[in-house]
Amino acid sequence: MSTAAVLEKIEALSKKQSGLPILGARKGKLLAEVVREAKPRHILEVGTLIGYSAILMAAELPPASRITCIELSADNAAKARRNFAEAGVADRIEVVVGSGKAVIPTLKGPFDFMFIDAAKEEYLDYLKAAEPKLAKNAIIVADNVGMFRKEVTPYLDHVKKGGGYTSETHDFGSDAVEVSRRK
């Protein structure tokens, strides 16, 4: 199956299952554009679910680039791995099962791109844990900063006010996505 066909399959599944909170096509278009422009070598994703956002990013990556995914649920991680194989991107994506806060300190960087989409109140913990491994000019994309504004306030304060980033909020009406660049 093509990456597009697997993404469509997951979109259709999420329409049927309301508990499948994927990034979705509208916000996904922004993420794909940011990845395409940044041409990252190593992406860190926190919160993979069944692989939608990782497949979307893998489709935009230069040939030698790769993604390390962290997913708390072993069941979701197994489904994500199956979807990666189906989309033909399994060779460039590694999935680590565990919590973002526990796993990030064990990973080998550097990372020049990070996508954050796990526990909303832990966004700043993930970023702080990753900072020693983030390249200069690394790009960090955070989902749900509109829908979970209260939970992500410490994160937004950090990237917008003096944490060493330039940062922009992209408004999607019912939700928003934060795109930050490390200075």
Ligand X SMILES: C[S@@+](CC[C@H](N)C(=O)[O-])C[C@H]1O[C@@H](n2cnc3c(N)ncnc32)[C@H](O)[C@@H]1O
Residues within the interface to ligand X (CB under 6 A): 21-23, 46-49, 52-53, 70-73, 76, 99-100, 117-119, 122
- Which residue lies nearer to ligand X by CB, 45 or 112? 45
Q: Based on CB atoms, which residue is closest to ligand X, 46 or 176?
A: 46
**Contact present, 56 and 2 (Cβ < 8 Å):** no
Residue among 15, 77, 87 nearest 49 (CA): 77
Q: Which amino acid is at 48?
A: T
Minimum separation from the CB atom of position 183 to ligand X (A): 26
Q: Which helix (H) or strand (E) holds 11?
A: helix 3-16
Beta carbon of residue 153, minimum distance to ligand X (angstroms, whole number): 18
Q: How far is the CB of 99 from ligand X (least distance, A)?
A: 4
User: Closest separation between CB of residue 76 and ligand X, Å?
Assistant: 5
Write out the two tokens for 129: 């844990």
Residue type present at position 14: S
Query: CB of residue 140 vs ligand X: minimum separation in angstroms?
Result: 14
Beta bridge partners, 96, equal: 70
Beta-strand pair 134-142/176-182: antiparallel
Give the DSSP per-residue string, 47-77: --TTSHHHHHHHTTS-TT-EEEEEES-HHHH
Burial of 16 per CB tally in 10 Å (0-12, 13-18, 19+): exposed
Nearer to ligand X, 48 or 65 (CB): 48
Nearer to ligand X, 63 or 173 (CB): 173
Residue closer to ligand X by CB (options 137, 150) is: 150
